[in-house]
A = this chain, B = another copy of it.
Amino acid sequence: MKNKILLTFSLYLLSGAVGLAQFPGQFPGQSPAQSGDAKPSSLNLPGQRYPQVDSQRRAIFQLRAPEATTVKIHLVDDEYDMVKGDNGVWSYTSEPMDLGFHYYWYVIDGASVTDPASKTFYGNSRLSGGIEVPSPEEDFYHFKDVPHGVVSERWYLSKSANAGRRVFVYTPPDYDTNTTARYPVLYLRHGGGEDETGWSVQGYMSFIMDNLIAEKKAVPMIIVMDSGAAGGMGMGMGGGSNTMVTELIPMIDSTYRTIADRDHRGMAGLSLGGTQTFQTTQANLDQFAWIAAFSSPFQFPDVKTGYNGLMADPEAFAKQVKLFYLSMGENEVRWGGTRPYHEELEKAGIKHVYYESPGTSHEWQTWRRSLYDLAPRLFRFETEE
């Protein structure tokens, strides 16, 4: 294992180029690493050497702040002291981290600010930096030499808000060439404190779908990513549910070549977006037949009264709901309600699929894997199986 990593690293130094599957992001670091076998995070801006990640999954941060008295780093959910070194450069090396994407920012003498060395990501109701811990065994979310769909930024007039609203829409690789085909649609929600950019940026959803479709593991589908925040903060319960059904779905169905019925429409969401998925689909089961919640924190539909009582009749529920999908990260604690809910569903005999992401927590690697596991199950009908 160690030899393999050293070999990979040597090739990286020699080639000066970026392997197709090595850096999923746009901006590979440009300079050789300094400390041990650490390499610049794939989310660094061009020319930025820090932050770095080593083969032990430790993240190494450096920030020049010569006159600062205290510098801390906020990484995932905690704050850590950085240490001042020569030339006014502060540094911090983390413990081994979970695989995948993590938010971070700096607190300099009490000011909470964003590292200009990193691409920025909307999470925690702010823009912050991000660090990517590579997962050597996984490449399902990497850019590969396959046909690519696109993610379109679309603005439309929301009549209820009397304002422009933005939505991102993934269309599969054959959408523009197969001009008479019609497609099923998945509505895909971000988490609390995130926004409609989350799935296409942190989530690499387009690479995940491109790869699945190229391998014929998933049927080509349109994926719509809107904001779950009705008011702006991204934390509202049920945010956007009403306008999804009254404004967004009609706009999508009149703009794209969709199959505009409930059998070909699904909704999925992560964390708070999972809760919103439960709310929206319970209130509008005539609109959605495919339902998925990743790491939903609370408000799981009651096994007796959920879905307007439909859950009390498992056979009827399974007939109406083509897929009831739940997932969480193996290490989730704080928002770990999904596993007990899965057990409750089992006991009640309610048909569903439960996926658990090994070794990850309430973060994007769990949700990337969840989408990868979910998408092949979507819009498959009995007759096809």
Contacts and interface: CB of A to CB of B under 8 A. Distances in A.
Given A119-B127, A152-B150, A233-B47, A113 B114 contact: yes
A113 B106 contact: yes
A38 interface: no
Contacts of A128: 116
A330 to B, nearest CB: 30
Interface stretch (A61-69, A94-102, A353-361): A61-69
Q: How large is the interface on A (under 10, 10 to 19, 20 to 34, 35 or more residues)?
A: 35 or more
Contacts of A119: 127
Given A116-B126, A152-B150, A18 B163 contact: yes
Interface stretch (A154-162, A296-304, A368-376): A154-162
Given A156-B148, A161-B17, A234-B46, A111 B108 contact: yes
A88 B110 contact: yes
B116 A17 contact: no
Interface of A: 17-20, 26-27, 30, 45-47, 63-71, 88, 105-106, 108-120, 122, 125-128, 143, 145, 148, 150-157, 161-164, 166, 169, 176, 179, 200, 206-207, 229, 231-234, 255-256
5 contacts: A47-B125, A65-B111, A67-B110, A114-B114, A155-B207
